[in-house]
Amino acid sequence: MSTTMTDTLLSVRNLSVAFHQGGKTSTAVDGISFDIKRGEVVALVGESGSGKSVSANSILKLLPYPAASHPSGEILFNGKDMMTASDAELRQVRGNDITMIFQEPMTSLNPLHSIERQIAEILDLHQGITGAAARARVLELLNQVGIREPEKRLAAYPHELSGGQRQRVMIAMALANRPELLIADEPTTALDVTVQAQILELLKQLKDDHGMSMLFITHDLGIVRKIADRVCVMTKGKIVETGPTAEIFANPQHAYTRHLLASEPKGVPPVSDTSKPVVMQAQDMKVWFPIKAGFLRKVVDHVKAVDGIDLTLRAGQTLGVVGESGSGKTTLGLALTRLISSKGRISFIGNEIAGYSFKQMRPLRNRMQIVFQDPFGSLSPRMAISDIVAEGLKVHEPALSEKERDARVAAALEEVGLDAATRWRYPHEFSGGQRQRVAIARAMVLKPQFVMLDEPTSALDMSVQAQVVDLLRDLQAKHSLAYLFISHDLKVVRALANDMIVMRLGKVVEQGPSERIFTAPEDDYTKALMAAAFNMEAVDVPAVRQ
Amino acid sequence: MAADIVSADPTLLTGRTGRLSPVNRRRWDNFKANRRGFWSFWIFLVLFGLSLGAEFIANDRPILVSYKGELLVPALVQYPEEKFLGDLGFLAITDYSAPEISEEIKANGWMIWPPIRYSYQTANSNIPHSAPTKPFWLMDKAERCSGYPQGENDPGCTLGNLNWLGTDDQARDVAARMIYGFRISVLFGLCLTIASAIVGVTAGAVQGYFGGWTDLLLQRFIEIWSSMPVLYILLIIAAILPPGFFILLGIMLLFSWVGFVGIVRAEFLRARNFEYVRAARALGVNNRTIMFRHLLPNAMVATLTFLPFILSGSITTLTSLDFLGFGMPPGSASLGELISQGKSNLQAPWLGLTAFVVMSVMLSLLIFIGEAARDAFDPRKTFR
């Protein structure tokens, strides 16, 4: 390494951030210090609420002042203190020396401007490049970030690009002024695994080409291992451990780091057993949404969200449904539970439910339950936990007395590991993991035979994820439940599902025992998915989109 | 950024805590934080409460009479003259301000008058000069009592018998008409608002929840319906049907419910795909319960924010109809009629001024309350 590489580019000393709201002050970041050297990638790792994003935003002073304030600390960038810099000086640094890319590429781009205009605007603003020179530079940047056929993409608007392409455009904008430091705030969290692998690859390569430093904010330890030189582990507003990546992963010192490293979903799925009774069976399932056009709204084509899927699910077994966003896995689940209409045969514990009306379905609803992805959205904020859990009981077992119902609710809450004494509280008083437990309790209180789990762990922090996976496995063993487990997270699927379906664009790519698919995937797409999920490696096969 | 911070509520409560959910408690705090709206709310409640008891504030009959050891409540019960005068009395309604009655009662007991001794339709027969009469404080003692038989020394020339805000052109007490007029305006406004909210929310809910053809057809119907020239149709219908509180309410309801449909429909369209609504559907909860328990509370936020503004709109519509003479039946207390009297009696500014002050205070209070309600339901509102 050259001598310039050891120079300290950014030095954060004893930084604190406090938020004031309604007379209350909460400290989000509490005296953190870290350095970033030239050409180095530093990862800030922590779970949600640990203060990592707030720390990153304070570097460019992007917090909502005056609601936010810095009780202490200094941020030295190239030896200059950003805390005392004037607004004009800060504007010089922002977008020029230090740039940021954010988690959600859709909302970070202006939907009304073309790609070319958005990138050219930055060039004009900081370097005064306009006209043909600007266009040439935009093309060069788009080439650098790996957008295919950039000439054709210049006039495109953000909604015409895929999530991965949008994030590439964001990176192009960030690179436009050859920054010294790139702050990436969860840049791949909203992306599919295969696209995530591509973006990580790209960032790594850009860093090597430009000698740029990077501050990488993430909750995903896999990404850290892949990209970072050094790691700062954050929890509750403090950095508890700092060190070279390899060292931290090999020999974690702090209890929290060890806890974090140990929190990947573990355990084994139930053993496949074809002697168990079939709970749910579907043949040639199709969900086609019509595309209508013209004055008379004639159906010209269909969006084939689910296109001819067969599946069999037995008691006490888990069928994992894996695929990227838009592959139709949630649609499949909703069609199986008859929440949307579909074609094809569905039989559920001996009932041919494909043609059933909502009324005919009602007596069966307590046998099939759903747990949704977002524990914040799936609980009504206006109802106490006990009312939420009791809702299904009121429909299916109206004969229960108030007392019996309350006892059932309390038992269900205890079963999912919540204190029954908290059942009069409202959802907002619970953490994400606890809320997901409530959602599981709502399903379990009806003693179902089949539960559709729609990405139940995706919105949760790593360590909580592992707990929820354990809980689901225990409940399955105890009640011999049949799970349809929908997820894009292959690690969780491996820990829960004994059979799996890999979906792509509504069709089955590969289907079979998960053991076999994980160890010896046959299809190219499955292989790419595995490589991206477990090794963060981008595989260039036609099946993987950009 | 800020959302990353988990703000643990230190006051976690065990046990069911009253009827107010935390969401509502926050709203109530937000409402209170808007001082102007909060005070307007209480002032309006007090005024409205007082006007509900208008019979005890402004009435041509005493509140309480003790006659020969018997307690009578003339404010609520009509007693015939026979009760006090025996065979001499022949009227079915007693005029308590008539000298023979008041002397008879005073000789055999006592009576308590309300502060204003006129109801909204009582004509003052002792006015000092031709109606409309000035407020008494614009005249000296001799002039203000000149209408009474014994002039300044007449026992009838008391504060309660004088016209605090003058009289209108039919010698009716303006203060009394103002109080009754306020009451009927607010009651009418409330009835109309609640009725149109019920109709409008139901229509919006059905449209938003079921969508598709239901939505399409109702939307088109509403577009045609709301493009009608409302005021002219009101005038035509009011000219055919006999005027009256409920007829007017019905006519105005025909058009006013449309205002709620848009917001409620939008809320239902948005919220019907919420995960907790989907979860309820997966539990087998029926459509009606989902609409009431899960969706309506969402829509109620928009509706409640809208209510005070609809209320003030309804009051204005009633007043304008009254002003044009197509409103409440003749003789009823109405602010619109008071304004029209003020217009035709420019020499008596107390008529127009009173109506103006009452209307503006009432409408301002409602708007302030509406603003506070809007703040209260705004989830992003923060107060520093």
Tokens representing B188 are 């009418």
Least confident of A7-16, A172-181, B127-136, B331-340: B127-136
Say what the pLDDT of residue B103 is. Answer: 82
Interchain contact, B23 vs A426, CB within 8 Å:
yes
Any chain A CB within 8 A of the CB of B10? no
Q: How many CB atoms lie within 10 A of CB B157?
A: 21
Is the predicted pLDDT of residue B6 greater than 50, yes or no?
Answer: no
Contact B284/A429, CB-based, under 8 Å? no
Evaluate if residue B283 carries a pLDDT over 70. yes
pLDDT value, residue A22: 66
What integer pLDDT is reported at residue A63 of this predicted model?
84
| % residues pLDDT > 90 (chain A) | 12
pLDDT digit string, tens, across residues A140-179: 888 888 888 888 888 888 888 887 888 888 888 888 888 8
At A93, which helix (H) or strand (E)?
helix A87-93
What digits encode the pLDDT tens for the residues B21-70?
667 777 888 888 888 999 999 999 999 999 998 888 888 888 888 888 88
Q: Enumerate residues 6+ apart whose C-beta is below 8 A from B5.
A: A19, A26, A28, A49, A51, A54
Mean pLDDT by 10 residues, chain A (546 residues): 61 88 80 90 86 87 83 87 86 86 79 88 85 90 85 86 84 86 85 83 86 88 88 90 90 88 81 86 87 76 85 90 84 88 87 84 87 83 86 88 90 89 82 88 91 86 85 90 89 89 88 89 88 77 62
Please, how many CA atoms are within 13 Å of residue A431, restricted to the half-sphere of its CB?
16
Chain B, 294-333: which have a CB under 8 Å from a chain A CB? 294, 297
What pLDDT is recorded for position A2? Answer: 41
User: Contact at 8 Å (CB) between B235 and B320?
Assistant: no
Query: Are B15 and A372 a contacting pair at CB < 8 A?
Result: no
Q: Give which of B275, B289, B294 to mutate to test A binding, by max A Cβ within 10 Å.
A: B275
A372·B279 Cβ contact <8 A:
yes
Q: What is the pLDDT of residue B221?
A: 93
Of B6, B285, B382, the CB nearest to A391: B285
Query: What is the pTM for the complete model shown?
Result: 0.74
pLDDT tens digits along B228-277: 888 788 788 878 888 788 888 888 898 889 888 988 999 898 888 888 88
pLDDT, residue B371, reads 87
A86 touches A94 (CB < 8 A): no
Contacts of B5 in chain A (CB under 8 A): 19, 26, 28, 49, 51, 54
How far away is chain A from the Cα of B293, in angstroms, using its nearest Cα?
A: 9
Express each pLDDT in B148-181 by its tens digit.
877 777 777 777 778 888 888 888 888 899 999 9
pLDDT of B304 reads: 85
Dump the DSSP string for B110-168: EEE--SB---TTPBPTT-SSSSSPPPGGGS-HHHHTTTSTTGGG-TT-SGGGS-TT-B-
* Interface membership of A49 toward B (CB under 8 Å): yes
> A395 and B286 in contact by Cβ < 8 A?
yes
Q: Is the peptide bond before B135 cis (omega within 30 degrees of 0)?
A: no
